Chain A
């Protein structure tokens, strides 16, 4: 009442300072960890006991080791910048305090997730980020977000499908897809407790090697199911493109840099279990290869700039998964690290663009290079990093992944349990996807910034509060790759005793040449096709079957809609509703009504007439006398 209203304007700053402070703390702890070695690299903080049930003792234990330190830095660092950006972006929103509250809640949950020392605490964070994703994607639930058919006006033969994208369905979709994964997480937890007897990570790591093959496989598969949901892999990736209905800072933070990385983090964290399982790494490799390819293809035909970035994220996450599957543990994490930088940058820059032109659709953009120079340059840096152009960050991490895939597939047998065939598939798909990435990146650049402006109004540069994070992230996207070099590189630093030892990152010169050629070729193709802006008909329309399939997103959404959603929403939901209203509520209401009726009946005992009471008294006495005489008689 006194301070609340006045503090409203400060909400954004308070939130940002909180996260920035967390970043500073994380940084200090990180440097402290750097000075340690070997066993001391893993520090466990035994916290407050949550509960004890039988043999199970769960406490709020935290773990500080290279992996969690890196994740914590990424989360708090990128988040601080995004919070800062949001102050400008959400300045005119009437519910901005709620936004910042939820954004902070998200960061807190994410930190719990990465710092957890046992499964249950991690699950807390896991669910927390899922919840915040739901809340934040559905933030504009009271607005009609008008989005033209994401494939733009280029759809011939179909009426101009102006679709209203409501945030609530997207939020629900995100949460439900995540939920399916969560079932996997829960079942994995149960199984682990049943076989290992504890939910603590140290105990699990210790016993991981000794697990029966079948058990380890089951656990690994279930955990991977959780990752599929959270990190948007096939077939549970469908929520991510729709989640673009949320404000752009949300897309940048949750759906690019952090939450979706949680799945990759989980695989990395549980790597000993995945190694012990043998075959699951192969399956991950295959699935990742499929995902990266189909997502890149979809990114190629989107009109909505945020959807291009969404599919790109799915594709890059698949890269990380693929890296982990071929034994490139540090490569996968390295890519997570660099990806956070350039993807967040791309999203934030896209947000600035959307803010300026009031539309998400690239068909209404164009020629913005001159109108928004800073945004253009930073976006360009991020885009080239995504495409894997040296010496930007993306190049180094992507290259390390491909090197590991090459070594596992064609080189000497790696330490990992993956088969050579799978590694070869991963390698080839990785190359193809790198090419496609460059193509859609170039397409995005030219359609947004090149040629002439196709929209209405006069777009102008964003204000300083929004530009500053862009510049910082651009610097990061440019330089972050260099932590992968040298003797004290991220690869050596991130090793812990439980993991298979990898040598320091090697540079395969031939591979570097190949990838650079591919990236440049892809950029050239994209430039050639889209240099003059939007063509009359999209090129892929000449292949009607391919076009239709891409347009319908491989019919996957349709499959879910017809197969699952209809059955549940159409049949199961009404039945459950009936049960809830009639039976459950019936019992509760019935208890109340019954009591009322009984009371009304019993009212008549209180007649107020003394003789009535006297009669009752008399009857009671008679009854007592009978009982007493009977007792005496016995």
Chain B
């Protein structure tokens, strides 16, 4: 059975949404990061889908870019996370509110 590109895009959208909701809702910093990764991968999926439908390779190249950037971002992000949470024992993002007006 041939599944059209629409299904892939729909999947991508759903995954993205789940990622967004997770980023906004979850309290644990590591889970937030995972949701960010989820969003990035969802976007990767839609890139690949479009690359396939358009017959060009641009989408796949971009997907590579995204993966590299995601990896670098995770490194930096986790580094910051560790630095912050070494100071205080809690992993809740709600506690990082020093810029509160």
Complex Cα spacing A610 to B98, Å? 11
Which of these, B20, B23, B101, contacts A608 with CB under 8 Å?
B101
Q: Which of A87-95, A357-365, A434-442, A599-607 participates in binding chain B?
A: A599-607
- Chain A min CB distance to B56 (Å): 21
Complex Cα spacing A610 to B80, Å? 14
Residues from 1 to 52 in B contacting A, C-beta threshold 8 Å: 20, 23-25, 32
Whether A609 touches B94, Cβ cut-off 8 Å, given contacts A614-B24, A615-B24, A618-B24, is yes
- Which residues of B have CB within 8 Å of A53? none
Complex Cα spacing A500 to B13, Å? 103
Contact in complex: A607, B97 (CB < 8 Å)? yes
Contact in complex: B23, A606 (CB < 8 Å)? no
User: Which single residue of chain B is at the shortest CB-CB distance from A610?
Assistant: B93
Complex Cα spacing A608 to B95, Å? 9
Q: How many of B's residues come within 8 Å of A, CB to CB?
A: 13
Complex Cα spacing A605 to B101, Å? 8
- Which residues of A have CB within 8 Å of B97? 607-609
Which of these, A605, A606, A609, A618, contacts B20 with CB under 8 Å?
A618
- Which residues of B have CB within 8 Å of A614? 23-24
User: Which single residue of chain A is at the shortest CB-CB distance from B95?
Assistant: A609
User: Which single residue of chain A is at the shortest CB-CB distance from B96?
Assistant: A610
Contact in complex: A606, B93 (CB < 8 Å)? no
User: Which single residue of chain A is at the shortest CB-CB distance from B101?
Assistant: A606
- Which residues of A have CB within 8 Å of B101? 603, 605-608
- Which residues of A have CB within 8 Å of B96? 608-610
- Which residues of B have CB within 8 Å of A606? 99-101
Whether A608 touches B93, Cβ cut-off 8 Å, given contacts A614-B23, A614-B24, A615-B24, is no
Secondary structure at chain A's binding surface: helix, strand, loop or mixed?
A: helix
Contact in complex: A608, B99 (CB < 8 Å)? yes
Interface string of A272-296 (1 = CB under 8 A from B): 0000000000000000000000000
User: Which single residue of chain A is at the shortest CB-CB distance from B26?
Assistant: A611
- Which residues of A have CB within 8 Å of B24? 611, 614-615, 618
Complex Cα spacing A182 to B93, Å? 74
- Chain B min CB distance to A606 (Å): 3
User: Which single residue of chain A is at the shortest CB-CB distance from B99?
Assistant: A608
- Chain B min CB distance to A617 (Å): 10
User: Which single residue of chain B is at the shortest CB-CB distance from A609?
Assistant: B97
Complex Cα spacing A618 to B97, Å? 19
- Which residues of A have CB within 8 Å of B100? 606-609
Interface string of B64-101 (1 = CB under 8 A from A): 00000000000000000000000000000110111111
Complex Cα spacing A611 to B92, Å? 11
- Which residues of B have CB within 8 Å of A611? 23-25, 32, 93
Complex Cα spacing A607 to B98, Å? 9
A608-B98, A608-B101, A610-B93 known, 14 other contacts, Cβ within 8 Å: A605-B101, A606-B99, A606-B100, A607-B101, A608-B97, A608-B99, A609-B94, A609-B96, A609-B100, A611-B23, A611-B25, A611-B32, A614-B23, A618-B20
Please give the residue numbers on chain B whose beta carbons come within 8 Å of chain A beta carbons, in ascending order.
20, 23-25, 32, 93-94, 96-101
Could you jot down 19 A-B contacts, CB within 8 Å? A603-B101, A606-B100, A606-B101, A607-B101, A608-B96, A608-B98, A608-B100, A608-B101, A609-B93, A609-B94, A609-B96, A609-B97, A609-B100, A610-B93, A611-B24, A611-B32, A614-B23, A614-B24, A615-B24
- Minimum-distance CB pairs A-B, first 10: A606-B101, A608-B100, A608-B97, A608-B99, A603-B101, A615-B24, A609-B97, A611-B24, A607-B100, A614-B23
